[in-house]
Amino acid sequence: MIPAAFEYHRPKDMAGVLAVLVEHGDEARVLAGGHSLIPMMKLRMADVPHLIDLQDVDGLSGITVDGGRVRIGAMTTQSDIIGHAALAEAAPIMREASLQIADPQVRYMGTVGGNVANGDPGNDMPGLMQCLDATFILVGPDGEREVQARDFYEAAYMTDREDDEVLLAVAFDAPSGGYAYEKQKRKIGDYATAAAAVLLEKNGDTCSAASIAMTNLSDTPVWSEAAGNALVGTSVDAAAIDAAVAAMLGDIDPTQDNRGPIEFKRHAAAMILRRAIARAWDRA
* Binding stretches for another protein (CB under 8 A): 1-8, 10, 31, 34-35, 38-39, 41-42, 51, 53, 55, 79, 102-106, 108-109, 188-189
Q: Is 76 in the site for ligand FAD (CB under 6 A)?
A: no
Secondary element (H or E) of residue 96: helix 92-98
Q: How far apart (Å, rounded) are the C-alpha atoms in residues 110 and 37? A: 10
Shortest Å distance, C-beta 278 to ligand FAD? 23
Q: How far apart (Å, rounded) are the C-alpha atoms in residues 181 and 38? A: 27
Residue 116's alpha-carbon distances to 126, 137, 218, 235, 271, in angstroms, are 5, 12, 16, 33, 25
Rank residues 124 and 219 by Cβ distance to ligand FAD and give the closer one.
124
- SS3 of 69, please? strand
Q: How far apart (Å, rounded) are the C-alpha atoms in residues 84 and 279? A: 23
Rank residues 7 and 151 by Cβ distance to another protein and give the closer one.
7
Choice from 57, 90, 129, 167 touching ligand FAD (CB under 6 A)? 167
* The pairing of beta strand 50-53 with beta strand 7-9: parallel
Query: How would DSSP label each residue in 223-282?
Result: E-HHHHHHHTTS---HHHHHHHHHHHHHH-----BTTB-HHHHHHHHHHHHHHHHHHHHH
Q: Is 269 left (phi over 0), alpha (psi -120 to 50) or beta?
A: alpha
* Cβ atoms of 121 and 221 closer than 8 Å: yes
**Going residue by residue from 9 to 48, which x/- string records binding to ligand FAD, judged by CB under 6 A?**
--------------------xxxxxxxxx-x---------
Q: Is 139 in the site for ligand FAD (CB under 6 A)?
A: no
Residue 119's alpha-carbon distances to 96, 175, 180, in angstroms, are 21, 24, 23
Site for ligand FAD in 93-112 (CB under 6 A): 101-102, 106, 109-111
Q: How far apart (Å, rounded) are the C-alpha atoms in residues 163 and 51? A: 13
**Going residue by residue from 219 to 238, which x/- string records binding to ligand FAD, judged by CB under 6 A?**
--------------------
Instruction: Answer with the entry of another protein, ligand FAD, none that 3 interacts with (C-beta below 5 to 8 A by kind).
Output: another protein
Rank residues 112 and 217 by Cβ distance to another protein and give the closer one.
112
Rank residues 115 and 224 by Cβ distance to ligand FAD and give the closer one.
115
Instruction: Answer with the entry of another protein, ligand FAD, none that 115 interacts with (C-beta below 5 to 8 A by kind).
Output: ligand FAD
Instruction: Answer with the entry of ligand FAD, another protein, none that 1 interacts with (C-beta below 5 to 8 A by kind).
Output: another protein
Q: Is 118 in the site for ligand FAD (CB under 6 A)?
A: yes
Task: Determine phi and psi for 7, rounding to 5 degrees.
Answer: -95, 135
Q: Is 51 in the site for ligand FAD (CB under 6 A)?
A: no
Residue ranges in contact with ligand FAD by CB under 6 A: 29-37, 39, 74, 101-102, 106, 109-111, 113-115, 117-118, 123-125, 166-167, 189, 191
